[in-house]
Chains A and B, each alone.
Chain A
Amino acid sequence: MPDQPTPAEAARALRDVEQRKDQAFEAIQDSLWVRVVFGVAVFVLLAVPDFAGPDAIVWTSWGFALIAVGYAVMVNTRRGSAVLGRQARMRQADLLPRRFPLARRLMLLGLMVIGIIGAFVPHGRITLPYWHTVLGAVLGLALILFTPAYQRALAALARRDRNRKQDADGSR
């Protein structure tokens, strides 16, 4: 092999480098069982007050927190990630969009606040029976079914952000 690639070979190699870097974004996919565990946990967390009274939510909240912390610890270790079905770990610097628009951040924050208020603040006027259970079932199912699409959307956003930054730097 010659010491210097031809311009055509260099251009092809640069395209390959970009393509391979993009493939790294496909690594962020959880196994189905992980989504099922989280979906069921959300369902139980929300449904328990309908059957065991509002005091039970203290215990279910602890249970959910334990699952979430366990997941966070596992996803940061090689062996834990392997158990979760993740074969690679994305670099955080590439994963977090640098220019995530403020409007989207506020929208996400607003949705979280509404969700928390809706789930935990008692509503005296609402008489819909088992509405916590219904909400839990909807959210749990959404988590199981739509998490891959959400992860893909986040990966696409991060990939677009990285490419835009490289274009701005002139490194692409």
Chain B
Amino acid sequence: MAPADVDPVLLDPTRLSIVSLLAGVTWAEFAWVRDTVGLSPSALSKQISTLDAHGYLTVERGYVGKRPRTWVSLSDDGRTALEKHIAGLQSIVEQSRQTAKANPPGSGDTPEA
């Protein structure tokens, strides 16, 4: 069975959640991502730094009045990586379905590893 094209960075469920959430928005405030994904500010900061280092996110800092704000958005590379990763995951699920169909329970055949 050929290995599926999954992204090692997005294998982490938290990072996948963040990238999937940002895939639906043009930009989002740090606080919204934090509350929606349910992470602490430091945990989210760490994950954003990792994704930023891989070029998956763009981070912009600024002020609204006197309050500092951070906006994050998914880069083109990040969107492409997410699409490839989703395709890889779908291929794993599909291969598993086909294996199960080819070797139905009780058929006596041992499924491939």
Residues of A within 8 A of B82 (CB): 17
- On chain A, the residues within 8 Å of B11 by CB distance are 1, 5
Give Cα distance in the complex from A92 to B37, angstroms: 22
Task: Check if A78 is an interface residue, CB within 8 A of chain B.
Answer: yes
> A22 to chain B: which residues have CB within 8 Å?
24
Q: In the complex, are the beta carbons of B62 and A78 less than 8 A apart? A: yes
Decide if A20 touches B89 in the complex (CB within 8 Å): no
Return the chain B residue nearest A91 by Cβ. Answer: B26
A29 to chain B, nearest CB (A): 11
Q: In this assembly, does A34 line the interface, its C-beta being within 8 Å of a C-beta of chain B?
A: no
Query: CA separation between A14 and B87, bound complex, in Å?
Result: 10
A20 touches B26 (CB 8 A): no
Interface residues as binary, A1-27 with B (CB distance below 8 Å gives 1, 0 otherwise): 101111100110110110011111111
Residues of the A chain whose Cβ atoms lie less than 8 Å from the Cβ of B92 = 4-7, 10
Identify which of B13-21, B40-48, B102-110 touches chain A.
B13-21
Interface pair B25/A82, CB less than 8 Å apart: no
The digit string for B3-35, where 1 denotes a CB below 8 A from any CB of A, is 110101001110011001101111111011000
List, in ascending order, chain A residues with CB within 8 A of B36's CB. 20, 23, 26
Contact B32 A87 (CB under 8 A): yes
A82/B6 in contact, CB under 8 A: no
Q: Which residues of A contact B (CB under 8 A)?
A: 1, 3-7, 10-11, 13-14, 16-17, 20-27, 78-79, 82-83, 87-92, 94, 171
